Structures are given as structure tokens and as C-alpha cells.
A and B are shown apart, each in its own frame.
Chain A
Amino acid sequence: MYRELKWKIPLILAVVLGAVWLSYPLKERIALGLDLQGGMHLVLEVKVEKAVEASLERLADDIKRGITEEDLEVDRVKAIFTDRQVSVRMVDKLDLPPVKEVMQGYPFFSLVSEDSDGLGMIYQMSADQVTQIEQNAVSQGLETIRNRVDQFGVSEPTIQAQGQKRILLQLPGVKDPERAIDLIGKTARLEFKLLDEENSLQQALQGNVPEDSEILHQRIENKETGAVTKDPFLLKKRTVLTGETLTGAEIRFDSDFNEPYVSLTFNSVGAMIFQQVTRENINKRLAIVLDDNVYSAPVIQDEIAGGRAQITGQFTSEQARDLAIVLRAGALPAPVVILENRTVGPSLGQDSINKGITSIVYGGLLVLVFIVIYYRLSGVIAVVALFLNIVLLAGALAYFGAALTLPGIAGVILTVGMAIDANVLVFERIREEIKLGKTVRAAIDAGFSKAFHTIVDANITTFIAAVVLFQFGTGPIKGFAITLCIGIAASMFTAVFVSRAIFDGTMSRIKLDKLSI
């Protein structure tokens, strides 16, 4: 029987030393959850349908151009968002067959119906293509956000896709959460649009918006009162240039008033288009639009070569810097909305750590004192087991790289209380066996073996609950589930294995007639 000790003791030592090695030093080895170290937990939803709509719009433009290039006269090409369709209408019936040929260039469009007057056709975008666009929107969005976060400077961020169209972000230690949200959530779709100066803004405001134009606003904030006014602009819908052709965006300061602005640099394609547009529209106004907000609408004085432009506005230098970051990182392919935001400030996190430790210490001490008074020397064995239990718990947390959260600390505390249970079950059994008149040695044997099944059965139910909790929980809750799972496993090991080894080890040296239990 005691021969087993020859391998049990080295095994126990190995496990304990392993746990110590894994978890030392604690501060570096055990990651803290966002609720303890402070930081942001964000869940974003990518509005993928907007990406599909944008793609339909682009394709409709593209198709129109393709047909016009064949010298055919188009009535209109229109994207129908609700059904993911494009409707093409011609002026002449005879033009339909050549249009069908043009459409062969778009294999993901299939003809679904022809208008009864023989002048139009409706094409349907395939479901595969829609899925493809949606997936791209999410993966590109993820990349863009990663870029922005990297430039914003967050140490060890977690950015990952969650489900079909959600993005999960964990940003530890963010100091200015609202600025971070601003930076991450901005679509940053930069567009240059010409003002519609042929039509009247007044009439448009009364609901008479020309088909090819739209009304967008410029936000103007009065710096003294903080009041925001919105100035309307009538703009051509057509975008002459987008942010896709940007190669750089930097913050600069105006030399006269020291006001910050963002300086833009275009690639050669962008520079060429910009030059052409400015040449053809001298004395007209060109609006710089970001996410459907007009930032400025300067009059084009002269042809601009060299591919440079600037966005002015009433920026603080922080805002201008962030705008430069988002423009450099690129636009999101579709807007995002924040579904969930949990932000904990660093001081609250530290406070939680302190309180958590206080309750572990007090709770642990109470249990310790109680168990030693109650079981005397055997109680000391239980306390040793309990202590090892916490060491193992720390080692396992470090090994799995699981973050310790506030509910996780509660899990540790609960483990302390419940770990004693396995020992109590054994000790109570031993007491019963001793009362039945068994020798110390036989009572210990019987106590351990009879209590074993009870311990397993009783712990497995809690374990099942903890595993389910791990599956379903997020962040802090997962931390709780993990500590609970590990705690249960560790308490079974320490009670059944370690306590037993200590009993046996003691018995092999001294012959006891009476057990201190």
C-alpha cells in the first residue's frame, strides 16, 4: 500500500512545482480581464446590406457606362436595393439584344424578367455574390479597424470576427474611450462632389430635389455656445473622387491662424482625376464630404496638379489627428454600429482587484481557522491541500492563458469554500469508521474509498454547470466558469490524492493509535 507513495510523492511534487513554475511571477503570468485592468469591450455590427447596396450602385453605373460605350442610348440603369436587382431601360427596343451581350460580362447577374413594353430588363444578383460581398465587407472592415487601432496605439488589442457580421474588440487600458469609439466607428467614406449650381437649393429644400442631386449638410459648431447648426448644400450625386485613391493623410497647421487641418495626398490615378475635375470646373464649388457630412465646399480657383488637397473644418488638433488616422487606414466598406460597449476605468479595476483580494484573504482565513479547530491535525492537512489547490489554480490559469476577471476572483473564493468539501466528506467518513471500531489505518482506507464516489458524483454536477457556463458566457463570466472548472478539478486532486498521500506518509513513519480528526 505505502509503496504507492514512491510514485505519488514525486508526482505531486512535479505537479505543484509545475504549477509554481507556470504561474511565477504572478503579475506577469496571469492575464487580467478587462474588468480588472480597465479597458473596453466592444461588439460592432457591420451593416453588410449597405455594402451590397453600394456594390449594386457601383455596378449600375458600370453597366450604364458599358452600354454607352457600345454607342447605344440608355434611358436609365437603376439599382433596386430591396431585391438586389438592377433594372436597365433603353430607348429603342432593338437595343435589347446587344445589352444582353454587355450583361454577359457580369456572370453573377441573371435576367429575371423583361418589361412588357419591350424596353427594359431586370437582372438579379446571385445569392452567392451577395454572400461574397457581405463576407468581404466584414473581413475588410476587420482589417481596417485593426489598422486604425494599431495606429491609435493600444497594447495587445483583440480584434476578431464574431458570427456572421459582428466584430469583437477588446482594448485593454484605453484612456479615452469615447475618442476610441469615434475612431473605430467612423466609416470614413471620403468623397468629393460638385455642387449642383444649376438648380435652386431653396426649391430642393421644399422637397423638389433634382434626380441627380442630393442635399447634404455641413455641421457648424459655435465654439462659444456649443450650439450646432446645419447648413444645407445641394450636391451632385455623382462622386468625382473617393478616398480610395488616397496615399496619405496628415495633420498640418495653418500658418496664419495655427488652425489644424488634414492634408491629403492622392496616388497618380487620383491626382489625374483631381487635375481633370479642377480643370473642367474652374469657378465652381467642390464639396469635400466625409460620411455624408460636408466639411467644406471651396470654389475651384485653378487647375490643381500634383494630387494634393486639404480638409479644413473646425477641428481640435486631436480630432484632426484622428481624422488623418482613419483616412490613412481607409474607409470601412460598410458602416458599423455598436451593439455592446462595456468600459471599465482603470481605477475601478484596481479597486475591484483590491476588494477581491481582501475577500479571498478574509474568507480563506475564516475557513482555515474553522477547519483546524474542527479537525485539528487532520484539519492542517486539509489546509495544506487547500493551499496547494490555489497554487494549482494559478498554474492552470497561466497555462490556459485564461484571464482572471472579477467573477473569476469570486470563482476562486468559491473554490476555497467548496474545496474543503471533498476533505470534509473524507474526514466525516473516517470519523464514522473509527466509531465503528476500526483501526486508524483501516478507517483511513475505508474513509477515502467510500467517500471517493460521492466526491466524484457531487463535483461532476457542478462541473457540468460550469462547462455550460463557459460555453455561453462572455468575458467576465467565462473567467468565472474557468476558475470554477479548474478549481473543482484541483480540489478533487488535492483531496483525494494529496491529502491521502499526507495521511499515508505520516502513517508510514509513525504508528498511530489515535487519529487527530
Chain B
Amino acid sequence: MKIISSETHFDFMGKIKMALTISGLTILIGLGSMVLSGGLKYGIDFSGGTLVQLQFKTAPDINVIRDGLKTIGLGESTIQEFGTKRDILIRVQRSEEKLEAVGSRVRDSLGENFNKADISIERVEMVGPQVGRDLREKALLSILYAVIGIVIYISWRFELQYAIAAIIALIHDVLVTMGAFSLLDKEFTLVIVAAFLTIIGYSLNDTIVVFDRIRENLRRKGKNTLIQTINTSINQTLSRTLLTSGTTLLVVASLFFFGGEIIHDFSFALLVGILVGTYSSIFIASVFLVYWDSRRRA
């Protein structure tokens, strides 16, 4: 069976301008949204704070919960449903020592309006500001190290311009995904950083398959121009690119729909990242190669 004919001749490189415009606009919108909302929205992993997940026997009224929290001085907490109406997530942007027993204090504060036995504390996470700072630093460093390691590897296996082009593509993917997070007001947590590192790895995976073919075709290119060679290579790898993305999307979608609330944002990041990664390996990754070539000739 074939989804795409094996001999496609799409003129991908002819769509460079359009692709750059679309990508540029998407990234601008994402960055704009980040600026407007005052930077990335950090989860408690990075900002420090406390998170309590409660399960009620029957769906509670969030306003009643808020009133209960006010009585223990936690009125400023964020309260939201978590997956179902019975699961409630409470976030406090503080992590004082007093909040250690925050789980049971929250439950106690609701005692007037709910039967205590009907509320179970499913999860408590408390991250101190110091740890939050450490984790933030570590997360940034880890992304940096991963990128450096990958640049070294690609420059060794290919040439420098391929490494730079691959990095541009992955920065593109990460920026677009970050923008989507910002637009949808999702939080950055440790797990999301893990998703981003995976996206980085995945985005490169796709890009490298294309580059590998470009390199192979360049060795015996004959009279074809670089742009023609790139076009041929992208077309030749197109069915593989779409197939792999397709199967990966299938499983990630399965994770997104069946995996539960806790890794919902994680699978969302992967979903977006893989889609964008596929797009960028076709439309964006090779642009720099063309640019580099034209500079060299000029």
C-alpha cells in the first residue's frame, strides 16, 4: 500500500517564502503571547509553590472550595478541575514551611461544607524557591548541553552548515511549541522540559534523514542545482517522513487521549512538537543550506 506515490515531484523549495512567512508569523504570535503574559508560565517545579490534587466523591462547587481556602489564608490559590469534575487541582504560589501540611489543612478547611471522608488527597507537591531556581538552571543547562552535543555530532558526521541548519530547525520547532504553550496558557514543568528535549531529539531525527539523502544525492548530482537536489531528496524521503511521523503521532495521540491528566500537557507538547518537527524537516531545515551555498558563491 502507498499513501503517497513514490515518485512525487513537489517543489518544496519553491515554497520557501511561503513557509518562512508562515513560520515567522507563528513564532511571532507565540513570542508576542509570551511577552504579553509576562514570560513563560512556570509551574511549581520552577517557580516554587505547592500543588494539591484532591478527589471528591461528588463534583464540588469550586466557589465553595475557594471560600474554604480563604479561611486558611490561601484565597489567592488557583483552583481548577483536573480531568473530571470530581478531581480538583489547587495551586499555591508559595512554599513556606507552614504549607507542609497543606493537604490536610485544605481538606480541613473544606470540612464545613463537605464530608471529610469524601475528600481524598491524591497528590501533594511542594517545591521550595531554592529548589525551583536550581531546577530552572538545570533545565536550561540540559537543553544547552543537548544542543551542544548534537551540534558536535552532526558537524562530525556531516558538515558545519548541516549542523547549523539542523539547529535552526530545532529552535524553530521549540519556539513554535513554546508559543502554543503560551497561547493555551499551559505551564512549564520538569516533565514539559523532558518533552522538549524529546522534541529536539525527534526534530533532528527527521531532519537528519533528509540531510542524509541530500548528501548522498549531492555526491552524484550531475547537473542538478542544489535546490533541485534538495527537492529530489525531500521527495524521496517524503513517504518515510510522513510514515514515521504518522506512527509516532498515533501513539502520542493515544497517550494524549488515554494517558490521563497528569501527562496530558506532556503528550500535548509531543503532539505539537512532532507535527511541527515534520513540517520543519520538509520546509525549513534545508533553507539554511541554500543560503549558505549562495553566500559561498557570492
In contact, B128 and A338 (Cβ under 8 angstroms): yes
A332 contacts the other chain (Cβ, under 8 Å)? no
Which of B29-37, B64-72, B247-255 makes up part of the contact surface? B247-255
In contact, A468 and B247 (Cβ under 8 angstroms): no
In contact, B121 and A345 (Cβ under 8 angstroms): yes
B153 / chain A contacts, CB cutoff of 8 Å: 460-461, 464
In contact, A468 and B260 (Cβ under 8 angstroms): no
From the candidates B3, B146, B208, B262, name the one contacting A468 in the complex (CB within 8 A).
B146
Q: Which of B212-266 contact A (CB under 8 A)?
A: 212-213, 236-237, 239-240, 243-244, 246-255, 257-260, 262-263, 266
Query: What is the total number of residues of chain B having a CB less than 8 Å from a CB of chain A?
Result: 73
A374 / chain B contacts, CB cutoff of 8 Å: 1, 3, 243
Bound: A18/B247 CA distance, A: 29
In contact, A417 and B194 (Cβ under 8 angstroms): no
From the candidates B124, B150, B270, name the one contacting A414 in the complex (CB within 8 A).
B270
B6 / chain A contacts, CB cutoff of 8 Å: 431-432, 435
Bound: A376/B1 CA distance, A: 8
Bound: A338/B266 CA distance, A: 27
In contact, A410 and B204 (Cβ under 8 angstroms): no
Which of B18-26, B73-81, B195-203, B289-297 makes up part of the contact surface? B195-203
* Min CB gap A329→B, angstroms: 20
B252 / chain A contacts, CB cutoff of 8 Å: 363, 413-414, 417
Determine the residue in chain A with the shortest Cβ distance to B236: A432
Determine the residue in chain A with the shortest Cβ distance to B170: A461
In contact, A473 and B204 (Cβ under 8 angstroms): no
Which one of B55, B141, B142, B267 has the greatest number of beta carbons of chain A within 10 Å?
B142
Contact with A along B83-118 (1 / 0, CB 8 A): 000000000000001001101100000000000000
A414 and B251 contact, Cβ closer than 8 Å, known pairs A345-B123, A464-B146, A464-B150: yes
From the candidates B1, B122, B125, name the one contacting A342 in the complex (CB within 8 A).
B125
Determine the residue in chain B with the shortest Cβ distance to A341: B126
Determine the residue in chain A with the shortest Cβ distance to B138: A472
A428 contacts the other chain (Cβ, under 8 Å)? yes
Which of A5-13, A212-220, A268-276, A474-482 makes up part of the contact surface? A474-482
Q: Which of A454-476 contact B (CB under 8 A)?
A: 454, 457-469, 471-474, 476
A390 contacts the other chain (Cβ, under 8 Å)? no
* Min CB gap B123→A, angstroms: 5
A337 / chain B contacts, CB cutoff of 8 Å: 97, 128
A410 and B267 contact, Cβ closer than 8 Å, known pairs A363-B250, A424-B244: yes
A347 contacts the other chain (Cβ, under 8 Å)? yes
A355 and B258 contact, Cβ closer than 8 Å, known pairs A178-B104, A417-B250: yes
Contact with B along A400-433 (1 / 0, CB 8 A): 0000001101100110111011001100100110
From the candidates B97, B121, B139, B209, name the one contacting A454 in the complex (CB within 8 A).
B209
Which of A55-63, A199-207, A364-372 makes up part of the contact surface? A364-372
B150 / chain A contacts, CB cutoff of 8 Å: 461, 464-465
Bound: A352/B249 CA distance, A: 21
Contact with B along A32-43 (1 / 0, CB 8 A): 000100000001
A325 contacts the other chain (Cβ, under 8 Å)? no
* Min CB gap B50→A, angstroms: 9
- Our count of residue pairs bridging A and B at CB distance below 8 angstroms stands at 224
Bound: A348/B54 CA distance, A: 10
From the candidates A409, A410, A424, name the one contacting B243 in the complex (CB within 8 A).
A424
A90 contacts the other chain (Cβ, under 8 Å)? no
In contact, B246 and A370 (Cβ under 8 angstroms): yes
In contact, A469 and B258 (Cβ under 8 angstroms): no
In contact, A410 and B263 (Cβ under 8 angstroms): yes
B55 / chain A contacts, CB cutoff of 8 Å: 347
Q: Which of A333-391 contact B (CB under 8 A)?
A: 337-345, 347-348, 351-352, 355-356, 358-360, 362-364, 366-367, 370-371, 373-376
B205 / chain A contacts, CB cutoff of 8 Å: 418, 421, 458-459, 461-462
A406 and B142 contact, Cβ closer than 8 Å, known pairs A343-B125, A345-B121: no
Contact with A along B135-164 (1 / 0, CB 8 A): 000110110011001100110010000000
B8 contacts the other chain (Cβ, under 8 Å)? no
A477 and B190 contact, Cβ closer than 8 Å, known pairs A177-B103, A340-B127, A347-B120: yes
In contact, B128 and A468 (Cβ under 8 angstroms): no
In contact, A414 and B208 (Cβ under 8 angstroms): no
In contact, A178 and B101 (Cβ under 8 angstroms): yes
From the candidates A359, A370, A406, name the one contacting B258 in the complex (CB within 8 A).
A359
Bound: A424/B244 CA distance, A: 7
B58 contacts the other chain (Cβ, under 8 Å)? no
A409 / chain B contacts, CB cutoff of 8 Å: 259
In contact, B146 and A348 (Cβ under 8 angstroms): no
* Min CB gap B282→A, angstroms: 15
B182 contacts the other chain (Cβ, under 8 Å)? no
B28 contacts the other chain (Cβ, under 8 Å)? no
Which one of A185, A347, A413 has the greatest number of beta carbons of chain B within 10 Å?
A413
Task: Beyond A178-B101, A358-B258, A359-B259, list 19 extra A-B contacts (CB 8 Å).
Answer: A339-B128, A341-B125, A345-B120, A347-B55, A356-B259, A359-B254, A366-B251, A370-B247, A370-B250, A373-B1, A375-B1, A410-B263, A417-B247, A417-B252, A428-B239, A431-B6, A460-B153, A465-B150, A466-B198
| Residues of A that sit less than 8 Å from B by CB | 35, 43, 45, 177-178, 181, 185, 337-345, 347-348, 351-352, 355-356, 358-360, 362-364, 366-367, 370-371, 373-376, 406-407, 409-410, 413-414, 416-418, 420-421, 424-425, 428, 431-432, 435, 453-454, 457-469, 471-474, 476-477, 480-481, 484
Name 29 interchain pairs, CB-CB below 8 A, sorted by A: A43-B131, A177-B103, A178-B103, A341-B125, A342-B124, A345-B122, A347-B120, A356-B260, A359-B259, A363-B254, A367-B250, A374-B3, A407-B266, A410-B255, A416-B251, A417-B248, A418-B248, A432-B6, A435-B6, A459-B205, A461-B154, A461-B205, A462-B198, A462-B205, A463-B201, A466-B201, A468-B142, A469-B194, A477-B194
Q: Which 6 A-B pairs have the closest CB atoms?
A: A462-B201, A363-B254, A363-B251, A465-B201, A417-B248, A472-B142
